[in-house]
Structure 1
Amino acid sequence: MAPIPSSGKEPDDSPDGYVGLEAGRAERLARERGWSPVRSLPPGAIITLEYRVGRLNFEVADGRVRRCWKG
């Protein structure tokens, strides 16, 4: 099933709270809190720079979130 379109709002949640968590747990928690989509990336990944409201990005190394940012 396709995700429900976002209303243009972001969850009232701090990305800093995900740093250090196990990647799978962080992704589940982010989705429960209303982030969509959630994107996990390896360190140094080449990504597009457009800002997408409601998206949460994780940089994952050794199975843990090393860095987290919106958009």
Structure 2
Amino acid sequence: MAPIPTPQPEPQDSPEGYVGLDAPDAERRARARGWSTVRSLPPGAIVTMEYRAGRLNFEVRDGRVARAWKG
């Protein structure tokens, strides 16, 4: 049987620190801080609920991050 893969540790970075930032700047900052996946979503977007280590989600409203969360 194959071993269960160990996920990479997530960056020690608070998603709340991205709220209010310009979306492209927030995405660049997140990638520079080690987030492997950065996903920008419009308000009210339907998203899957699976948790993915290393992913940072942004809800973008009028070009700025209105909400940010891990997974």
Normalising to structure 1: TM-score of the pair?
A: 0.89
Distance 1:25 1:63 in 2: 10
Pair 1:57-2:57 in alignment:
yes
Equivalent-residue separation in structure 2 for 1:27 and 1:39 (angstroms): 8
**Can you give the 5+ residue segments of structure 2 that lack an aligned partner in the other structure?**
1-6
CA positional deviation for 1:8: 2.0
Identity %: 74
State how far apart, in whole Å, the 2-side matches of 1:70 and 1:9 are: 12
Structure with higher Rg: it is 2
Q: Please give the alpha-carbon distance, in whole angstroms, between the structure 2 residues aligned to 1:50 and 1:58.
A: 16
Q: Displaced runs of 4+ in structure 1, greater than 6 A? A: none
Secondary structure in structure 2 of the residue aligned to 1:9: coil
* Ranges in structure 1 where 5+ consecutive residues have no aligned partner: 1-6
